[in-house]
Amino acid sequence: MVDKKKKIVVFDLWETLIFGTEDSAISIFYQDITGEEISPEQQKRCLLIAETEPARFLERFFENVTPSQTSSMLLSLKNPRSPLKEKIIQKFRALMDNDAREIRWVPGAMELLAALKKKYTLVVVSNLWAYQKEFLSHKLAVGDCFDRCLFSCDLGMDKNDILRQLGEILSADTRDMVYVGRSYEYDIVPAVNADISAIRITYENNMIFPEKITRMIEEELDGVAAPIARRSFVAQGGRRDVLLVIPPFYKLLGSHNNRLNMGAAFISSRLDSLHIPNRTYHCDSEPHENYVTRYQMVFNSVEFYDHLAGSEAFPAFEEYFRAHGSDTVFVTCGDILNPSFDSGNWDSSQKIAKIVRKVNPRAYIVAVGPEVGLASEDFDLIVHGEVESLLPAILENHQRGRINGGLLSEHGLKSLPPFRFETMATEISPPSLDTILWRRGCAGTCDFCRVAEINKGKIRCRPRAAVMEDIRIRYENYGIRNFYIIDANFTADKAMALEFCREVTEKFPGITWRVESRYDTLDVELLRSMKAAGCTHLKLGLENALSERHQVKTKRVSLAGAAEWIKVIQEVGINCVIYLMLGGKWFNRAQYEEMFANTKALRADGYTVSLYNPYPNTPAGISYEEWRQRRFTGSHLDIRLIDFWKIPIEVVEAFFNLEIEKGREDKMVRRFI
C-alpha cells in the first residue's frame, strides 16, 4: 500500500465508473450455444478463472459449466486437430471486440478520480471476467487511475468476499475507508455488511457530478468538505478549441442536408467573440446539390433506425475525430434558431457523443438544440434552448446535468461577428450557403411549433448591418445570388421590412430571395416593395385547409381570406407557397377529402406538405415516454406519423403528388431525383 495517503476510497467499477454492453461476451457466447443463460452459481465460479488468453479462458470456462451441450466444445478446444477450434475462438474474439468497442467511462468519472487521487488512496473492487483485463488496461487505462485494482479473477474470490477481507488485503483499517457504488443491492449492502461505510451514487441524467461526490467523500472521511476549485474549459495539454458537430439526419432518410445548422453557426460566432478557437463538422453534408424528393423521404423513413445503425457518416466522423479531436465538443440535436426545419434526432446525437466519449474519455460533451432528450449516457450537459448567453459559464465551470437556455438579447446579438466559413471541417457546397437569419422568434404562439415553444412570442432582431454583411460575404466570396431569409414573420414589422427592402435594393441589385410570413401581417404596399427588392417566393402557413375552427387558436385563417391574399401576392408578382400539415387531429376521410379540394382551390404556386409531429415539450406534444416507444424520428416526413394520425394512404399520395407537381420554391437551385 501507499503510505502517504492513509485514507482509502474504494470504488465499484461497472455501471458506477464505466458502462458498455448490457451482456458480457461470454454470456452471449454461452447463450448462443445452449439457448440458456449462465446460472448465478456458474457465473460465480467462472468469474474466478484467472486465464486471460481467450482459448485458455474458454477451456476453463467449459470445465466449470460442463452441460452436455458444451462437452463437444471443450473437446474441440483441447484437441489441436479439431476443425472447430479456430471457429470457436474466432467467434468468441468477435464478441470480445464488440464488448470492448462499447465500454467507456461514465461522464465525469475520470475527473472525479483525478481529483480524489491527489488526497486519497484509490482502490477498485470488481467482479471481472479475466479476458476483460486487457482492454480495460489498454483502452481505458484503469490501472493508471487507481493505486490498487482488486479483481475477482486475480484474487480467486468474488467481490463480496474481497470486501469482507479488504482490511487484510490492504493492510488497512476499514474505518479509514469509504465504498462508492451505484447499486443498493450489489454495492451498498455488501460494503456495509463488511463493516465499510458506503456512499451511493444516484445518477442525475446518467452523469457523475465530481464536485458533489467529492464533497460527500470528504465529509465522510474527513468530516469537512474542501472548497470547490474553479476550472477553466481548457484541459491541461489538451486541444485548446471547441468542436461543433452537426450529426447525420437527412442521410438517415436517404438524402442529405448541406445547409448549415443556424444554431451551430451562431454558437461558433459567439465563441469567436470570446476569442475561443472553434471548428464545425457537418456530418449530414455532401459536396453536391442533388436530393431525393420529400415524398421519397417519407418512404425512406421506414428504415431510419436501420440506417442509424449502419450509416457511413458515423465512422467517417470517428476517423476525423481520432485525427483532429478536441477536449470540448458541442453536438446539435435540431436547430434552435430554425426549428421548423427538421434536423435533429436524439439517437443520432447520442451516437456522436458515444464516439467522442470512446475516443476521448476526458472530453466535455454538450448537447444543444430543441430535440435534446431528458437523459443521456455520454453527454456531460444537455441544454434545451438558446445557449450563447450561457457559453462563458458552461466552458469555465463545466456544468453538468440538464438546463434550459436563456434567450439571447438584442444587445447580445449586436456583439456577434459573422460566421467564418473557413472554420468548417467538412466540404462546403456554395448554393447551400443561401440561408440568412434576420430575426429570432415569432409573435405567434402556435401550440405545435418549436419556434413558439422556445421563444414564447418574443422577437429579437439582429442589426440590419449584420444581415447585410452576411449577404455580402456570400455574394462576394461564394457567388450566391439567391437567398433564403430566415424569419418566421417577415412582414410583422412593416417599417423594418421596408428598410430591409430599400437597403437590399441599394447594395445588392439583382439578387433574389425567399422568405416566410403570416396571413395576418400582410400588407399590399410592403408586398410591392418586396417584389421590387428581389423577393421571388413568400411562404405562408395554413396548417390545414379546413374551416377556422379546425386551426390553432392563435392563427385562425379563413379559406376565403387565404385565397384573396394568395391572389394579391401573385398579382404583385411573387410566387406564393403554402405550408400544409396532415394530422394534428384524428380527421376522418371526408374531412381529408374536403381539405384536399380546398387546397387545390387555393391555386397557390407551390405546396410544402408535412406530417404533424407531436414534439415532446410542446403544448400539443406527447410524452417523452410515448415518443420513444413509437420510435418517432423527429422528422415531419416520418411514415410512422401516418399510422399515428390514421391518415388514409390515398390522402397522403394526393397531397404529396400535388407538392411534386407544383415543384419546390428552390427547384432552380437544387436538383430533385
326 touches 335 (CB < 8 A): no
Q: Among 208-212, 328-332, 393-397, where is mean pLDDT lowest?
A: 208-212
- Of the two residues 657 and 202, the one the predictor is more confident about is 657
The predicted-structure confidence for 605-662, as pLDDT tens digits, reads as follows 999 999 999 998 888 889 999 999 999 999 999 999 999 999 999 999 999 999 998 8
Higher pLDDT, 356 or 620: 356
Query: Given pLDDT bands bounded at 50, 70 and 90, which one contains residue 375?
Result: confident
- Select, from the ranges 226-240, 293-307, 331-345, 434-448, the one with the highest average predicted confidence (pLDDT): 293-307
Q: Which of 102, 136, 169 is the last residue of a domain?
A: 102
Inter-CA distances, 346 with 372, 382, 609, Å = 6, 11, 24
Please check the confidence at residue 22 and state whether its pLDDT lies above 80: no
439-440 vs 460-461, strand pairing mode: antiparallel
Q: Which residues contact 281 (CB under 8 A, 6 or more apart)?
A: 243, 244, 245, 246, 317, 320, 321, 425, 426
User: Which cell goes with 198?
Assistant: 458506503
CATH code at position 507: 3.20.20.70
CA of residue 430 relative to chain centroid, distance: 26
- Give the model's pLDDT for residue 90: 87
User: 227 in a domain, yes or no?
Assistant: no
Same domain, 529 and 548: yes
With contact defined as beta carbons under 8 Å apart, do 636 and 659 qualify? no
Query: Three cell numbers at 602?
Result: 387555393
CA 312, CA 133: separation in Å to the nearest integer?
31
Domain count, the chain: 4
pLDDT at 586 over 50: yes
Supply the pLDDT for residue 667: 64
Q: Is residue 423 part of a domain?
A: no
CB environment 525-554: b (16+ within 10 A), e (fewer)? ebbebbbebbbbbbbbbbbbbbeeeebbeb
Do both 353 and 291 map to the same domain? yes
Question: Where among 102, 122, 140 does a domain terminate?
Answer: 102
Residue 47 C-alpha cell reads as: 468469474
| pLDDT band for position 393 (cuts 50, 70, 90) | very high
pLDDT band at 552 (very low <50, low <70, confident <90, very high): low
User: CA triplet 552, 557, 563: central angle to 5 degrees?
Assistant: 145
At 246, phi and psi to the nearest 5? Answer: -100, 110
Can you tell me the mean pLDDT for 359-372? 94
Residue 405 lies in a domain: yes
Residue bearing the bigger pLDDT, 87 or 637 = 637
pLDDT more than 70, % of the chain? 93
Element (H, E) at 299: helix 294-300
Residue 385: give its domain's CATH number: 3.40.50.2300
Whichever domain contains 139, its CATH number is 3.40.50.1000
pLDDT exceeds 80 at position 483: yes
Torsions phi, psi for 649 (to 5 deg): -60, -40
| Strand 328-332 versus strand 242-246 pairing type | parallel
User: Is-contact 359 322, C-beta < 8 A?
Assistant: yes
pLDDT of residue 455: 81
Q: Note whether 584 and 625 are same-domain residues.
A: yes
Residue 2 placed within a domain:
no
| Mean pLDDT score, 563-569 | 96
Average pLDDT over residues 310-338: 95
Shared-domain flag, residues 401 and 448: no
Q: Do 65 and 160 fall within a single domain?
A: no
- 108 and 97 both lie in a single domain: no
Helices 464-478 and 494-507, axial angle in degrees (round to 10)? 30
pTM: 0.89
pLDDT given for residue 234 in this prediction: 46
Is 96 within a domain? yes
Question: How far is the C-alpha of 50 from the C-alpha of 218, rounded, in Å?
Answer: 35
Residue 387 in any domain: the answer is yes
pLDDT digits (tens, 9 = 90+) for 134-160: 889 888 999 999 999 999 999 999 999
Q: Has residue 68 got a pLDDT over 60?
A: no
Task: Give the domain-ending residue among 43, 74, 102.
Answer: 102
**Amino acid letter at 399?**
Q
For residues 308 and 445, membership in a common domain is answered with no
Q: 95 in helix, strand or coil? A: helix
Mean pLDDT of 81-100: 83
Average pLDDT over residues 365-391: 92
DSSP state of 554: T
Contacts of 141 (CB under 8 A, 6+ apart): none
Q: Which helix (H) or strand (E) holds 484?
A: strand 482-486
Q: What mean pLDDT comes out for the span 429-447?
A: 87
Q: Indicate whether 269 and 380 sit together in one domain.
A: yes
Average pLDDT, the chain: 89
Contact present, 42 and 133 (Cβ < 8 Å): no
Q: Is the pLDDT of residue 665 over 60?
A: yes
* HSE, side-chain direction, 13 A CA sphere, residue 608: 20
Residues 175 and 303 grouped into a single domain: no
Per DSSP, the three-state class of 178 is strand
Q: What are residue 555's phi and psi, to 5 degrees? A: -150, 70
Residues 277 and 297 in one domain: yes
Backbone angles phi, psi at 331, to 5 degrees: -120, 125
Q: Where are the alpha helices (DSSP H) in 485-523?
A: 494-507
Mean pLDDT for 434-443 is 89
Q: How, if at all, do strands 575-582 and 482-486 pair? A: unpaired
Instruction: Reply yes or no on whether the pLDDT at 551 is more than 80.
Output: no
Instruction: Say if 608 falls within a structural domain.
Output: yes
User: What percent of the chain is modeled with pLDDT above 90?
Assistant: 65
Closest among 371, 396, 375, 399 to 385, alpha carbons compared: 371
Q: Are 158 and 130 members of one domain?
A: yes
Q: Is the pLDDT of residue 237 over 50?
A: no
C-alpha cell recorded at residue 566? 394568395
Please name which of 550, 501, 549 lies closest in space to residue 525, comparing C-alpha atoms.
501
Q: For residue 362, give the C-alpha cell.
A: 476526458
pLDDT at 4 over 60: no
- The predicted model gives 76-100 an average pLDDT of 81
pLDDT at 205: 53
CA dist 256 → 240, 245, 296, 422 (Å): 31, 15, 13, 21
Whether 418 maps to a domain, the answer reads no
Q: For residue 118, give its domain range.
A: 8-18+104-222
Residues 450 and 355 in one domain: no
